[in-house]
Structure 1
Amino acid sequence: MIYDNREARRWYDAYTNLGRAAVYWNALEPEEKRQFEAFSDELHYNRGEDLMQAGSPANRVMLIRNGFAKVIHYYAPGPGHIASIIGPGNLVGEYEAMIDRPRHGTVTALNTVTVWAMTVAAFNKFIDRHRNAHRALTESVVIKSTELGRMPVSLALLPAVQRVAMLLFDTAAVDRDLHGVAAGRVA
């Protein structure tokens, strides 16, 4: 498992650089950021603690302020697969809150994580009052949905070591294509 902060940062950077993470916070205007913070509760999680669990009700939306977490999605009974690594500025839990469905994934802290958590009702009011925040939410959901659609369901059925290896290989291949890194070398 990835618990080392450097390793988590490497994964997060890879996903962010490839467009696989929509950084919600950076899209907000200064006043929207102040309002978001004002209507949120600050929560802290230790390494290994779940921020959200699959099957639990969608009762709040969180913004990662510090630290990194892994998002594990479950498409079939059995082990899930790592869908992404999220970090500062990422919104989590917004999709299920929008469609009023139980969580379909588990979010687990990779190190000490600080979040701003907002109830779904408060988040909906926030979105209604701030057009830019609504646009950023839409962009976030579209990007996440697009990336999930590219993840083969069969990946969820593979053992964890193979899933991680496939994700690393994919990241290395794209890195090589984008940055001219030699094949087989992951920086």
Structure 2
Amino acid sequence: MARWEPNARERLVRAAIDLFSEQGYDNTTVIEIAERAGLTKTTFFRHFPNKREVLSTGQEELGQLLREGIAGAPTSTTPLEAVAAGLDAATARFTPAQREFGPRLEAVIAANSDLQERDAFKHTRLVAAMAEALEERGVPDPVTRIAAELGGLAFSRAFTRWTMPANTLTFSELARRTLRELHAATRGLD
């Protein structure tokens, strides 16, 4: 693959996931990732500060999509309906390629405590983005926090379901379904 070909960032992410799956996160170097992607170490560092951040690609954009989806929901919607609109906006950007490498990504994260910590941080940031957007809509606390936490849990669970080979639903459909299931489960807390 020529170095001048487009999608360097995507190629680096794919190469990293492949190598992390094959030889483990700790045993993979930045140079190996760059070489597998057909790029240089310098190109790698133009896109990512370190190899851990390769797996965090798009987090800022994802948070922004969640905020915009929640902000754009009709004013008459409930907090959970607004979260569902945010999930729709965020999950619509996911591609079949991301679905394909989802199980390998989850396996790599599960095998490394540093990546688990980073994944928990990413989850916290997504929940915070939803909570901020709900606050801007005037939703009071603790409703804001509960709705955002349910949205974060729905996103995570839906991602796992979406990447299963037998799944035929879109990520958005699964996120909405999972959010409804979680909301129904809260009724059993009484």
TM-score of the alignment, normalized to the shorter chain, above 0.5: no
Give the helix-richer structure, 1 or 2.
2
Query: Of the two, which has the highest radius of gyration?
Result: 2
Scaled by the length of structure 2, the TM-score of the pair is 0.27
Q: Structure 1 length as normaliser, TM-score?
A: 0.27
Relative to total residues, which structure has the larger strand share, 1 or 2? 1
